[in-house]
Each structure stands twice: as C-alpha cells, then as structure tokens.
Structure 1
Amino acid sequence: MRIAISTRRMIEPVHGEARDAVSEDWYRYLHVISPEIVLLPLLNAPDRVARWASDLEIDAAILSNGNDWGECTARDETERALVDWCRTCGRPVLGVCRGLQVLNALRGGTVETDIASVSGQDHGGTRHDVTLCSPQFVELAGREHIVVNSYHDQGVTISGLGPGLVPFALSDGDVVEGFYHPVEAILGIQWHPERPGAPYDFDMALIGAFLKRGAFWSQPELER
C-alpha cells in the first residue's frame, strides 16, 4: 500500500532555507499497522501534487501535523490539491491534528485560532478525556471514553463543523476530536496516534481499517 503524507514547511535557521519534513514517528507507526505500507512524503508544491499522486499510484493520503492553517500558503494549497485528487479518485484521506482542521476548512467549516479560550480547556502538550458519541466507534473502542494526547492551539468546535461532516469524538467545550464523512472516505482525528499517550489499541483498529477499507463505518458491523 502506497500512502502519501503531507509535510511540514520549516525554515532552516542557519541558511534560511525552506525545507519540507515529516516526523520519523510516522514511519515507525505505520510499519506497525502494516509492514507493507510505503510512506511517500510530498513536497509542498500545489501545481504538481495531482501528477505525483497519479504517477505514484497512491492508495491513501494522510494530512499530517505541523504549521497552522493559514500560516503557509504553499502547504495549504498542496493539501487542498491532494484532497481534491483523492476525492476525485476515491482514495481515503486521514487528517491528523492540523489535518483534521484542514479537512474541516476545505469542507466549509471554521478553525478556531485559540481553542483554549473558546473551550476553557488547554489543548497544548497535555492529555485529556474524549467522549465517543457514535455507536460504531464506541463498538470499535469497546468503551465510551478514551484518553488522548493533545498538541494543538487551533481547533474545531461543533458550531464550526463543516457541512456533511459527522462528529464521533468530543471533548469539553464542544471541541471536535474526531469526525468522518458518511459517504466519502474522509476521517479526521485531533490527537496524534504516532506519538506516546494516544489510545493505542483504538487507533490501531481505527486507522488500520480506514486505510484498508475507506469509509468502513457505512458497513453494518466494524471489525475489532
């Protein structure tokens, strides 16, 4: 399976060079899900993404963490082009942390720039409880509550959720921690499955099934 992953835009401090990077945590994490996964980082070049995705014959895409939405136009437009290609070709798209916010913005939703001031809960460098509010995901987790890691200042609330997106995980202050699209293969989670402190068993079942089967929640039953 070939999975394209978006990259963080960084400015190298000594020479001032713009560099695109992705954490090694992703390689290690996806290898555990399936050793056959080939991870393909994409440079932030919006005009070339569709051709790269076609030439590389990608099976799914991950919108990774890093950079705020609106901070880097090249990355924003690269991810927009990647999502457009995936939707046209029927490929699953998983958004993680920033990636959830990107998917929401591209669906016409809003992104809160200071989620702590809106929700009354700190989301930067902490762990907190999340309530699963969709029966299929409760079944997958085997419980209604999970504990997640949290590394974000921006976020999405119920009132700002994009049209057509369905929340399945919420934290205090009506912060959306997870959503999906009921027809298209789109899934967003606000926590980091590739970092310590994530709900490991739930994430392995959730992400493994999603990358292999796409919009699996439309099925009568979920595989544990």
Structure 2
Amino acid sequence: MMKVAVSQRVDVHPNRDERRDALDQRMVQWLCHAGCMSVPVPNGLVSVGHDAGCARLVEWLDAIEPEAILLSGGNDLGEAAERDVTERFLLDFARERHLPVLGICRGMQMMGVWGGAGISPISGHVRIRHLLCGAVDGEANSFHTMALRECPQGFSVLARSEDGVIEAMRHDELPWEGWMWHPERELNFSARDIARVRTLFGL
C-alpha cells in the first residue's frame, strides 16, 4: 500500500488544558479503499511565533518517508497556528520532492493561500449537495463556509459549483489537486473520487 502522510485537525479541550490532533476514521477508511495507508502527521512537532521552526517535523518526515501527502479538512485557516505551520511545510516538502498532494476542503484552501490566493466567507455551502461544472463533474457534498476568491497562480480550475465557487483545482506542473468536497463523508465512497485519487497518486 502507498504510504500517505495525512494532516490532522486540532481540537482544543480547555478543561484538560490539552490541544489534541484528530483525524476522521472515515478518512483512513477512504484512503485504505483507494489502496493507501494513512500516516497521521502530528501538529506538535513545529514551533510557532518568533522561534518558528520545523526541524523536528523534517526528522519525522525523513523517518516516515511518505509517498504522497493529503491535507485533510477541519479547522479554519488561522484557527490553529501549529497546524497552519505544519501544512505549509508539508507543501514545501512535497514541492521539493515532487510528491503527489491532495487537499480536501480546508486542505484545498491551504493550497490556495500557499499559492498566493485569498479566501472569503460564503453562504449556502454547508450540509448541501450541488452539481460540479467543469473537467470534474457530477454531484458533490459541501461543508464549507470559506472559499477561494481566485485560482492561485500556477493552478487551474477543475470544477466550479452552480454559483461559480471554485470546487476543485490542480497544479499546472506538480501532481497536486484540491477538492472542496469531503470524499470520506459519502455513505458509499464515490467511484469517481477513488479513481481520481488513485490516478493522482500514481496507483
């Protein structure tokens, strides 16, 4: 199975004074269905603020030797600084090594911001289904309150929703894609999504 490093959300538990990393079990199942083994990436290996650094994360990644990277959903950008730093570094790491990357929802937004795009609040995209228009078509779920204002430089739009929101994009040179829908939240995993991630990851 292909080894995929998967970013995690940060859940804060103030009563216990804990910041916990978390990953939806369905994401692990979805990747397994696609022929991939999930390796959750800890957010606690980076330092933030004036002494920001990723040396421990570099050591961890060198030991794990991931073959692809998935930036998962959950948390808004700016909500958990350690996750933002971790995911930005994962994109730098993937670019340097030409690794495949899939960004899911927030993960696609991170790819966009990393590429120089902005994000803005939107309405009408939470707990609904809509049709995709473009190179990727069909129906998709929607669970996001933020969206890219424009396609980042070096990327191309793969799909938009009926109201024009960018729902999928790909890098023009690297094996990277971003999807705003959550493939892991489908009751029955979509054959379209499984086929697409397998192609992206070279399986």
TM-score (norm 1): 0.82
Q: Which has more strand, going by share of residues?
A: 2
Contact residue 155 and residue 175 of structure 1 kept, 8 A: yes
Per the alignment, residue 208 of structure 1 pairs with: 198
Contact 2:9 2:73 in 1 (8 A): yes
Contact 2:75 2:106 in 1 (8 A): yes
Paired residues, number: 193
Task: State the match for 1:115 in structure 2.
Answer: 122
Query: Quick check: 1:148–1:199 contact (8 Å CA) kept in 2?
Result: no
Counterpart of 1:119 in structure 2 is: none
Distance 2:144 2:31 in 1: 22
Q: How does 1:65-144 map to 2 (within 5 A)?
A: 65-112=73-120, 114-116=121-123, 122-132=124-134, 134=135, 137=136
Q: Deviations over 1:81-116 (max 9, x none)?
A: 11101110111111000000000000000111x112
**Unaligned residue ranges in structure 1 (runs of 5+):** 117-121, 138-144, 214-224
Residues 198 and 129 (structure 1 numbering): CA distance in 2 closer, same or farther, change over 3 Å? farther
Deviation >4 Å, runs of 4+: none
Tell me the equivalent position of 2:42.
43
Contact 2:130–2:162, Cα closer than 8 Å, also in 1: no
- Partner amino acid for 1:171? S
Q: Which amino acid aligns with 2:11?
A: M
| Cα distance in 2 for residues equivalent to 1:108 and 1:51 | 28
Residues 148 and 197 in structure 1, CA contact (< 8 A), matched pair in contact too: no
Measured after TM superposition, the shift of residue 125 of structure 1 is 1.2
Q: Deviations over 1:115-146 (max 9, x none)?
A: 12xxxxx10111111112x3xx4xxxxxxx41
1:7 aligns with 2:28: no
User: 1:176 aligned to 156, 166, 173, which one?
Assistant: 166
For residues 59 and 65 of structure 2, the distance between their equivalents in structure 1, rounded to whole angstroms, comes to 10
In the alignment, structure 1 residue 55 sits paired with structure 2 residue 63: yes
Deviation of residue 38 (structure 1)? Answer: 2.0
The 1:10–1:167 alpha-carbon spacing in structure 2 relative to 1, beyond 3 Å, is same
Match of 1:154 in 2: 146
Q: Deviations over 1:37-86 (max 9, x none)?
A: 22110111332222222211100000000100111111001000111011
Deviation at 1:14, TM superposition (A): 3.5
Gaps of 5+ in 2: 47-53
Percent of counterpart pairs with the same letter? 32
